[in-house]
Amino acid sequence: MTNTDDKNTLLAQLAPRPGRRPLIPELTPQAELALLCRALHREGYDDHIAGHITYRQSDGTLLVNPWELAWDELTASDILRLSADGKVIDGDWNVTPAINLHLEVHANRDDVYVIIHNHSRWGTVWACSGRTPPIYDQTSAMVDGPLPLFEEYGGAVNDDSEAKSAIESLGANKWALLASHGVLVVGRDIRQAHLRAITLEWRCRHAWHVEALGAGVPMRDEVADGFGAMVDGNGFPFLWEAMARKEIRLDPSVLD
């Protein structure tokens, strides 16, 4: 069997198949975003009330988590709707002062519908070290492509110049480390953004533990890139649904 045959077989195994029942209930976009916040908080995106996710809708408006609430307490009804220029047009809370970072990315990346910015536990460790974590295991390789490091910290991303610098560092990439700050992750939808965010945090955490041993053999670039392109491109069926179900089981009010 050729390498192409092997890849096609694995892709067929990953392809979603009809089940006996829906994997998750039908969700509103607001519920999707609330669930994403909850799931990522559990993965290490948990710097108190810091961090924000925008979710662009087909009408050009943006859904975003409110400034005042931590990610693990959000419900669907807490999600704000913003105009394309960042003004609140629906919701009872306030929008983050750093919304300009998201507005700039959305304006310059037609392929991006979800933007995640936070000071995740392990991603921030590597960002502060000024290093990019190597890929040591299969799960760390689930997303391919460069992981750029924005090496200068001139202030919070609510400053226009700092936001533009961070966006320049991101470029056309899927994610970036922001030195002395945190991480920036983008995706075409909730599923892809979730996969990229948890892959980045897993990669950062496991690289730290491997290097704490004083040794480690990184995965070969061509192997990591091939695996990542296949998994990220296919969206890893059922993973997002499993994590969403977990949050719904733990607190059904997340959908309210």
pTM: 0.89
The secondary structure of the chain, three-state, reads CCHHHHHHHHHHHHCCCCCCCCCCCCCCHHHHHHHHHHHHHHHCCCCCCCCEEEEECCCCCEEECCCCCCCCCCCHHHCEEECCCCCEEECCCCCCCCHHHHHHHHHHCCCCCEEEEECCHHHHHHHHHCCCCCCCCCHHHCCCCCCCEECCCCCCCCCHHHHHHHHHHHCCCCEEEECCCEEEEEECCHHHHHHHHHHHHHHHHHHHHHHHCCCCCCCCHHHHHHHHHHHHHHCCCCHHHHHHHHHHHHCHHHHC
The domains of the chain are located at 26-249
pLDDT one-digit tens code per residue, 102-124: 999 999 899 999 999 999 999 99
Predicted pLDDT at 169: 76
For the stretch 47-75, pLDDT in tens is 999 999 999 999 999 999 999 999 999 99
Query: 204-248: per-residue pLDDT in tens?
Result: 999 999 999 998 999 999 999 999 999 998 888 899 999 999 999
Task: Tell me which fold the domain 26-249 belongs to.
Answer: L-fuculose-1-phosphate Aldolase (3.40.225)
- Is 90 exceeded by the pLDDT of residue 155? no
For the segment 162-201, what is each residue's pLDDT rounded down to a tens digit?
667 777 778 899 999 999 899 999 999 999 999 999 999 9
